[in-house]
Structure 1
Amino acid sequence: MDDYDARLVELYDGDNPDGADHEFYRQVADEIDARAILDLGCGTGILTVTFARAARTVVGIDPSPNMLAYATNRANGRSVRWMLGDSRDIPAEPFDCAVMTGNVAQHIPDSDWERTLRDISEALRDDGVLAFESRNPQARAWEKWAGAEPTLRDTVNGPLREWYDVNETEPGQIVLTAHNRLEDTGEQITEQLTLAFRERQLIEQQLREAGFVVEGVWSDWNRTPSTDGSPIMVFETHRVGSTTAA
């Protein structure tokens, strides 16, 4: 997929409103009195702009031009430094806190994932915090997506019918094809995503190898310890110093 369709980007905030997840990430940043925050995979910036305050630097990075265009033009958009790219484009300045939200970690392919963790580690100060969430593969969320009936709803672009095709290409790798049909025009927008469902033990190992200590893995936004059946895994970590990972 080259980019998200701008008409679907307009719907993102309504489908993913500010809530308990955003409050958790704001709390993580406030608990360490973060003065520089990195939001990697910031999307439309709905959370990113709420980090902004006096004497705090906020950087939002995303590979989608349409997402960033929306973020830049939102209220308070000028309070954030927006950058097009991925972890390789993180500016050379130390950050106190980094977040990856909206399950963005699952959108990063295995070939780039470990490099992404190393890039974030190098961008953080010693004891800097990294927090992110990922769906628990043990809960097999993709099976619910595959079995869901098409839905129809009203949007700013008229009635929209939506449904999914799901293909497990290999263990932990899910290709999700999202079908979106604008009923007034008959136009169909198809977007294909590859999502990586990584096991908790693997993610913890990769974090350690990138120079992080895992402080907790939570099953919700209230820091309830994760279990094998938890739908999500919320990772809260901190950097322990320079890493020698290759």
Structure 2
Amino acid sequence: MRHAEFRDPRLVLVYDAECPWSREDDFFLSVVNETPGSRVLDLGCGTGRLALGMASAGHAVTGVDPARASLEAARAKSNAERVTWIEGTSSILPAGSFDVAVMTSHVAQFFVGDDEWAIALADLKRSLVSGGRLIFDSRDPRARRWERWNPVDSRRRIALPDGRAVSAWTEVTAVQDGAVSFTHHYTFPDGERLLSTATLRFRTEGLIRSSLQEAGFTVESIHGGWNREPVGAGDGEFLVIARRC
């Protein structure tokens, strides 16, 4: 199944266990906190980890995601009532409703085609107030992170809350024109095996900057790592902070 780790309840549980709060969330929260008490959009909120953290920090948070199973997991968490959860895509975003918009966990890379990326940026611009900020992460293609997505380097054991452990690994199936397709393999203790496929777009810094400019954003900064290192000197990331013109 495509994007099964977000759509299949069995794998949503695995995803949630594998992805606890991290320094990545610390980075996003620190930038959002620069606008105290803001109205925040978390586009592609998944199971709600960051959305709930931002709500706890005093922001009015709306989490939007097309995957119902992920939203159901988010709604079941403690203090979930602090967040407005909406099933949908960027197309449903209301105009001028947010001071800050975030896309975390490389959600920006799921917009593979240039046209769909442009549409998403247009929707985000519409949803932000004048001067509102857009914050997202995208992997630097020069780091060639996908070369580690193989049966040896990517193999991992994921402990679930009920004490079971799931074995997982990733394989790349295609690399073409800046897009990398891959499959996550999961094996449960009872022998059940599930697959999740996806494709990510690895845009260069130049492409990110030009697409934002064309969409009506001004780039404030792009960092290369979670401690705000320069591009090329951090974690192989583009951590983008832009402002709606």
TM-score by length of 2: 0.90
Task: Supply the AA of the counterpart residue of 1:217.
Answer: I
Residue from 230, 235, 240 that aligns with 1:235? 240
Partner of 1:114: 118
Is residue 137 from structure 1 mapped to residue 141 from structure 2 by the alignment?
yes
- In 1, Cα distance between the equivalents of 2:141 and 2:57? 40
Q: Does 1:163 align with 2:169?
A: yes
Aligned-residue identity in percent: 36
| 1:52-106 Cα deviation digits (max 9, x unpaired) | 1597421000111110000111111111111111110113342100000011111
Tell whether the 8 Å contact from 2:18 to 2:158 is kept in structure 1 after alignment.
no
Is the 1:138–1:229 Cα contact (8 Å) retained in structure 2? no
1:23 corresponds to:
26
2:188 maps to what in 1? 182
Which stretch shows the higher mean deviation, 219-228 or 139-148? 219-228
* Contact 2:96–2:126 (CA under 8 A) maintained in structure 1: no
From 128, 131, 135, the counterpart of 1:127: 131
TM-score by length of 1: 0.89
2:186 and 2:65 mapped to 1: Cα distance? Answer: 23
Count of matched residue pairs: 239
Q: Unaligned 5+ residue runs, structure 2?
A: none
CA RMSD of aligned residues (A): 2.1
Shift of 1:169: 4.0
Task: Flag the 1:60–1:229 CA change in 2: closer, same or farther, 3 A.
Answer: closer
The question of whether the paired residues in 2 share the 8 Å contact of 1:136 and 1:199 is answered with: yes
Give 3-state SS (helix, strand or coil) of 1:23's partner. helix
Note if contact 2:226-2:234 (Cα within 8 Å) is conserved in structure 1.
no
SS of the residue corresponding to residue 227 of structure 2 reads coil
Partner of residue 209 from structure 2, selected from 204, 207, 229: 204
Report the counterpart of residue 178 of structure 2 in structure 1.
172
| 1:206-225 equivalent positions in 2, closer than 5 A | 206-225=211-230
Q: Encode CA deviations 1:135-176: one digit per residue, 9 max, x unaligned.
A: 111111111112525444543373322222212241211111
**Structure 1 runs (4+) greater than 6 angstroms displaced:** none
Alpha-carbon deviation of 1:28? 1.4
Q: Name the structure 2 match of 1:14.
A: 17
- Answering whether residue 49 of structure 2 is matched by residue 46 of structure 1, we say yes
Q: Give unmatched runs, 5+ long, in structure 1.
A: 241-246
SS of the equivalent of 1:71 reads helix
For residues 157 and 24 of structure 2, what CA distance do their matches in structure 1 show? 26
Amino acid at match of 1:65: R
Amino acid across the alignment from 2:222: V
Structure 1 equivalent of residue 93 of structure 2:
90
Supply the distance in 2 between the matched residues of 1:200 and 1:147 (Cα, whole angstroms).
Answer: 29
* Aligned: 1:63 with 2:69: no
Out of 82-91 and 24-33, give the one that drifted further. 24-33
Q: Secondary structure at the match of 2:180?
A: strand
